[in-house]
Amino acid sequence: MASEIEQLKREYLEHLEIEKGSSLKTIENYERYMSRFLEFAKIQSPNEITDELVRNFRLFLNRQSAGNNRATGATLKKKTQNYYLIALRSFLKYLAKRNITSLSAEHIELAKVPERSLDLISSQELNRLLAAPEGNDIKALRDRAILQLLFSTGLRVSELCSLTRDIDFSTDEFSIRGKGSKVRVVFISDEARSAVGEYLKKRNDMDDALFVKADVEKADKEKEALARRSIERIVKQYAIKAGISKKVTPHVIRHCFATDLLQNGADIRSVQIMLGHSNIATTQIYTHITDKQLREVHKKFHSKK
């Protein structure tokens, strides 16, 4: 029979799924974070969660080896440690809403982490990447459409994978359901719309997914939709082909989408909405590298004699 705390953990995860509408990936991650905490804590009841227990858990996390880096002595990054604390804090807030006695979530402070740096590629590298798929076979057409759509819309890779052929690509916008089941409108460029149209014309299968594996195209064969890892591999392969030495992922293209908008004068609030960020602080990571006004001030006034 499950202990009280294990039962509450299960109910909490169900709460994330049903009431909060969290994605299955988020629930899977929170289940892993909470399980590791409970495995460490060895408690039966929520009232056994104390400041001292949390402090000891933080020390435990801080001394854990990071993945396969035991030989180098590398430990879990502060950012990774914070994921565990965020999950625990969320669990404690859930308990408080149910009037279940436990430690207050406010007692848990996250570790300070270095300011996030962005992985970016130059506009020249981006252009080479977008032009890398060559030819008119189904695979080249598909991959060209993927790259153009990623840059045109700023979609997350999970959002791209969820697209179906039901979307009306004759217009320059469509709706997408993103994180937290929030719906937003994304806009598609002429280049991306044309690339998707050429790809769909070549498709002769019946699968609903927009992007599918491009092996043998048969009308009577149901194709397999591309998964996240497949999209990541496609982007990586074309980055290598384009002669880009940096690590390029779908999320790097999303960064390029945001910085391109800001560098061309878009306001940060609009970019926040287009990216689907719930908090504008998340979007503000882009501003320090895209502030054209500061750049112009420096250019105009620095070292003038």
| Active centre residues (catalytic) | 156, 179, 251, 254, 277, 286
Question: How far, in Å, CA of 37 to CA of 57, rounded?
Answer: 7
Q: Which residues of 81-112 are buried (b: 16+ CB within 10 A; e: fewer)?
A: bbbbbebbbbbbebbeeeeeebbeeeebeeee
Determine the Cα angle at 175 with ends 169 and 176, to 5°.
110
Residue 255 structure tokens: 């960064």
Burial of residue 281 (number of CB atoms within 10 Å: 0-12, 13-18, 19+): exposed
Tokens coding 104 = 């207050």
- R_g of the chain, CA atoms, integer Å: 23
Phi, psi values for residue 253, rounded to 5°: -65, -35
Neighbours of 303 (CB within 10 A): 5
Beta carbons of 125 and 151 less than 8 angstroms apart: no
**Tokens 């999209």 — which residue?**
231
The span from the CA of 231 to the CA of 293, in Å, is 36
Backbone angles phi, psi at 267, to 5 degrees: -80, 150
Q: Cβ contacts of residue 60 below 8 Å, gap of 6+? A: 40
Q: What does the alpha-carbon distance between residue 226 and residue 160 come to, in Å, rounded to a whole number? A: 10
Which residues 6+ apart lie within 8 Å of 59 measured at CB?
none
Tell me if residue 187 falls in helix, strand or coil.
Answer: strand
